[in-house]
Chains A and B, each alone.
Chain A
């Protein structure tokens, strides 16, 4: 877990601060940090464990991956001012398809984060819970992924796998 912070710190130092668009630059920065870990975790978890859940009343691993992809479309399309929805969590089960869908969702969000300026970011858009700024949708998307990456890490540990954010530490 600590490696996420160390990686982020190192990246921050390398990237420096974007004086022109500091809010959107930060938003994109933390999104990029968690994106790599989520994709690698999805790739690393064996197909057989995509149906694993640690207790009866929570999502299986594959559903978490699908849920992240679905919500990325929701948050990023809302930030962009589009309406884009998907139902990956409930309709896709194979690892190959879920990893592919996850990458496609990230590709869609990449375009939104990359195109966002601070001026656009503070514009309001309609969401399921009232009007919020575009950049808040992107930040909620990233926070949401961090929460679910925490779920994913625990699932992987229970299955004896080292999550991507701890790989270097435990080599």
Chain B
């Protein structure tokens, strides 16, 4: 379940980089598209009846993890875009609602990531507390690293239910 996410992301990158000089903004976008693909497919692939599954009693259900990712992504990308965040999906349990919430968060984030240039590397953003933060650093942490961590949970949940996570399709693990 592990290395393939990175291999896919890296393998996809040369086609982009062959056309133009590699930039930090493009690296960020490549990493974003990689985890976006895995999370979107994971949410779609997990059967509705498994959305209430959790691997142990004291952690989030699969559906709650999807809601959490969608919520964090929508809030961070809305802050970066200077727009109002969409309604939080917290409390929703139906697969269709949660898949839609995740897609909505990616709609907001697509707007941010698609417009990134290297000039934004020195740009700061506010999240309402803690003062100004690097926009690149914030996007990288909350939309790439955090979402990868959550995907790490989801992959194990899927394996526990006998389902191959998207990043391992065709590989076994």
Across the interface, do B137 and A12 meet the contact criterion of CB distance under 8 Å? yes
Q: Judge if A17 is at the interface, Cβ distance under 8 Å.
A: yes
Chain B residues within 8 Å of A96, by CB: none
Q: How far is the CB of B2 from chain A (nearest CB, A)?
A: 6
Q: How far is the CB of A143 from chain B (nearest CB, A)?
A: 5
Sort chain A's interface into a size bin. 35 or more
Q: Judge if B45 is at the interface, Cβ distance under 8 Å.
A: no
Interface of chain B: mostly helix, strand, loop or mixed? helix
Q: Which of the candidate stretches B87-95, B96-104, B106-114, B154-162 sits at the interface with the other chain? A: B154-162
Q: How far is the CB of A97 from chain B (nearest CB, A)?
A: 20
| Nearest-neighbor residue (CB-CB) of B132 within chain A | A17
Interface of chain A: mostly helix, strand, loop or mixed? helix
For the complex, what is the distance from the CA of A29 to the CA of B134, rounded to whole Å? 12
User: Within residues 117 to 171 of chain A, which ones have a CB less than 8 A from any CB in chain B?
Assistant: 121-122, 124, 127-133, 135-136, 139-140, 142-144, 146-155, 157-158, 160, 170
Q: How far is the CB of B19 from chain A (nearest CB, A)?
A: 13
Q: How far is the CB of B83 from chain A (nearest CB, A)?
A: 21
| Nearest-neighbor residue (CB-CB) of A144 within chain B | B6
Across the interface, do A23 and B24 meet the contact criterion of CB distance under 8 Å? yes
User: Within residues 1 to 42 of chain B, which ones have a CB less than 8 A from any CB in chain A?
Assistant: 1-3, 5-7, 9-11, 13-14, 17, 22-24, 27, 30-31, 35
Please list the residues of chain B having a beta carbon within 8 angstroms of any beta carbon in chain A: 1-3, 5-7, 9-11, 13-14, 17, 22-24, 27, 30-31, 35, 55-56, 58-60, 68, 72, 121-122, 124, 127, 129-134, 136-137, 140-142, 144-146, 148-157, 159-160, 162, 172-173
Please list the residues of chain A having a beta carbon within 8 angstroms of any beta carbon in chain B: 1, 4-5, 8-9, 12-13, 17, 22-23, 26, 29-30, 34, 54-55, 57-59, 64, 67, 71, 121-122, 124, 127-133, 135-136, 139-140, 142-144, 146-155, 157-158, 160, 170
